[in-house]
Structure 1
Amino acid sequence: MSRKISKVKQGLLLLCCLVAATGCKQAPPAQMETGYEVMTVAPADRMILSTYSATIRGRQDIDIYPQVSGTLTKVCVTEGQRVKNGQTLFIIDQVPYEAALQTAVANVKSAEAALATAQLTYESKEELHKENVVSAFDLSTAKNSLLSAKAQLAQAKAQEVNARNNLSYTVVKSPSDGVIAMLPYRVGALVGPSIPQALTTVSDNSDMYVYFSLTENELLSLINQYKNMDEALKNMPEVELKLIDGSVYGEKGRVESISGVINRQTGTVGVRAVFPNASGILHSGASGSVLVPNSYKGVIVIPQEATVAMQDKISVYKVVDGKATSTLITVAAINDGREYIVLDGLKVGDEIVSQGAGLLREGTQVK
């Protein structure tokens, strides 16, 4: 009986081994394969608009300060008024300066009379000295009195000129064509050269200066593109101005100057563009954005999503023999946020992974 049970157990064991062996011989599950979008590199032309924050200033923003002290007796302009060069803006109390001028004129006349007397005295002493009636000392004294009278007359005339100038300074005139800013002082206010705030500001806004900055890399790219700074200023395309409300200003401007010094704190260089402002839409002190077009012809352009950035290095995955091969590239400093212009690392005809490059690893099979 025990022998029969033992044979049954052996049979069951053998059956289990066969089942296990059959399961071990089953084929492994198929691996999942992922497809990637690829592109073949080809030359293309691109016009890329680079945007830079900008501030707008008038060609001249002149703060008007009085050159003499006194009470404002008349304000001849209003805020926002357009004025001409030499137009009267303010009048300061003229009474004390008119009195000072009259005193100066009287002093000149007195000095002229004193000079005439000294001249007659000297001539008389000179004749008497020839006849040995007066001594050489008396003649020298008369001559010195004549010289002193001449000096006093010159001093009196200088005081007269100064008095006339001070009187003319009581009429404050515009030094250029422009638009009047705010008027912080009114009739009756005491003003002078040391007042904390200007009487007003005259802004010449017939043309407007728009200031923005380029990074050091963008500056070098610009110089490399046009060979030197002078050629860059001559041949740079016209720029546009986007206003604070998002609209684009109707007139185009041109880059007029680029600073020759890089700011150590910001690492940028200042650029000035000039825009015509015949319509008067632009105002000094406003802000906006400058749109600078950059034209590239026959260049290699790839989507930015085809790249992998690691610190300051940018790479793509070329497809070589069906496998992903990481390749470092050099791109232009200027881009539109969607595409890169490749300067080095790729050539026409290369095949690269155009999407999902960040998920790839070196040697990944690309289907």
Structure 2
Amino acid sequence: MKRTKVISALTAILLLTACGKKEEQAPQQQGPAPFPVQTVVREDATVFEEYTANLEGRQNVEIRPKITGFISKIFVDEGQEVKKGQLLFKIETQTQNQDANAAKAAVSAAQVEVDRLKPLVDRKIISNVQLETAKASLAQAKANYSSIAANIGYGTIVSPANGVIGGLPFKEGALASPTMELPLTTVADTRFMRAYFSMNEKQMISFAKTFKGATLQQKLKNTPKVSLLLADGSEYDQKGTLETVNGLVNATTGTSQFRAEFPNPESVLRSGGNGIVRIPVLHKDVVVVPQNAVFDMQGKQMIYVVQKDNTVKSKILTIETTSGLNFIVSEGLEAGEVVVVEGASKLKDGAAIQPQQVKNDTPAPATQDSVKKDTVATIVTTKKTTSTQAK
């Protein structure tokens, strides 16, 4: 009997111990998951409007011969820097030299004839008409000689400006003429480079409304410095200025051409190259949200807003443009609302979250004056860029 009671007691203890372990192993109920959030604010933001541009030197002079002849000597090489007046080419002028000798002899003969007739006219032996005819022949001979001598001078070709030599498609011994399709070379003054780009009519209207001034020239003076993106995607380290704009719209393309000018002290930019001109435009007192907080649903831009009970609700946004890694929102959000900035793909309307406020890393907005001083700028605008995150 005692043995039976002992066994019953041991069994009860084992059952209690097993129940306790099961209770310990049972998972605890989890609360709402944490999500990073930010409070929406209104602030100033700088937007860069981009335009593809063609680069040319301030002077881009084609060197062409004025006479026909064989190239006897080339005194420069491709890419060489030259000064104004420096000798570039020598065109063979042997034929012109022979013509010049003949023309000079004709001048001498005409002069002899004038000298012979003058005393005869003075003594009234012959008519003055004969002397005047001889003088006219002398003048014609001198003009012919001067023309040939000038052509001989054209055989020596010098640089019309300071700059850099372009390609040399013709070698020594090649026949050159004024009517050939390609120039002998090109001299480009690349100390300052010009970036040419175009705006369509809609962009021109936006430009005219954005910058102050009664005329286009005044508006150009009120634009901030512009920057240039190079072919490798890097930003050129020299700032440029908008210099001119064509006052008329091209009837064929519907665009107006702008010209920006950039210093080129280290010859980084080359004539004939391409780049992207970036014009900074300051948007004042706008709603800005991070791009990774916005997701796309059925072609609409949306964001999750945190309610007072820490549940989320989606809202449709109207995106005006892009500013760095942020979107500028024109409709759909108000200052003071709290939005989820990461993990939107894990949420749905009504889901409860644990909001974790994160720091707004948006850089301090630049004023229009500071943009003019510190921000630099070119032919398709990317003003309406849309970046989305799938839900």
CA distance in 2, matches of 1:203, 1:180: 7
Number of equivalent positions: 307
CA distance in 1, matches of 2:139, 2:111: 9
Give the alignment partner of residue 224 of structure 1, picking from 209, 218, 234: 209
Listed one character per residue, the Cα deviations across residues 312-338 of structure 1 (whole Å, up to 9, x for unaligned) are xx999xxxxxx99999x8958x86685
- How many Å apart are 1:157 and its aligned residue? 1.6
Give the alignment of 1:301-340 within 5 angstroms. Answer: 301=288, 338-340=326-328
Say whether the 8 Å CA contact 1:50–1:294 is kept in structure 2: yes
2:346 alignment partner in structure 1: none
Unaligned stretches of 5+ residues in structure 1:
1-37, 129-137, 317-322, 356-363
CA distance in 1, matches of 2:323, 2:250: 23
Say whether the 8 Å CA contact 2:227–2:279 is kept in structure 1: yes
Say whether the 8 Å CA contact 1:306–1:353 is kept in structure 2: no
Give the alignment partner of residue 272 of structure 2, picking from 281, 285, 290: 285
The amino acid across from 1:284 in the alignment is S
1:86 alignment partner in structure 2: 85
The amino acid across from 2:59 in the alignment is Q
Say whether the 8 Å CA contact 2:229–2:236 is kept in structure 1: yes
Listed one character per residue, the Cα deviations across residues 25-81 of structure 1 (whole Å, up to 9, x for unaligned) are xxxxxxxxxxxxx99975421111222222211112222111111111111111111
CA distance in 1, matches of 2:218, 2:327: 27
3-state SS of paired residue (1:241): strand
Say whether the 8 Å CA contact 2:302–2:314 is kept in structure 1: no
Unaligned stretches of 5+ residues in structure 2:
1-36, 304-312, 342-348, 353-391
The percent of aligned pairs where both chains have the same amino acid is 35
Q: Which moved more, 1:109-118 or 1:171-180?
A: 109-118
Asked if 1:146 corresponds to 2:131, the answer is: yes
Specify the structure having the higher radius of gyration (Cα).
Answer: 1
Give the alignment partner of residue 272 of structure 1, picking from 222, 235, 259: 259
Listed one character per residue, the Cα deviations across residues 203-249 of structure 1 (whole Å, up to 9, x for unaligned) are 11111111122232222122112234122211211111111112211
CA distance in 1, matches of 2:102, 2:285: 81
- Pair 181,212 (structure 1): closer, same or farther in 2 beyond 3 Å: same
- How many Å apart are 1:89 and its aligned residue? 1.0
What RMSD, in angstroms, separates the aligned Cα atoms of the two structures? Answer: 4.0
> What TM-score comes out, normalization by structure 1 length?
0.69
CA distance in 2, matches of 1:266, 1:160: 51
> What TM-score comes out, normalization by structure 2 length?
0.65
Asked if 1:207 corresponds to 2:206, the answer is: no
- How many Å apart are 1:347 and its aligned residue? 11
2:111 alignment partner in structure 1: 112
1:74 alignment partner in structure 2: 73
- Pair 259,351 (structure 1): closer, same or farther in 2 beyond 3 Å: farther
Structure ranking higher in helix proportion = 1
CA distance in 2, matches of 1:190, 1:325: 74
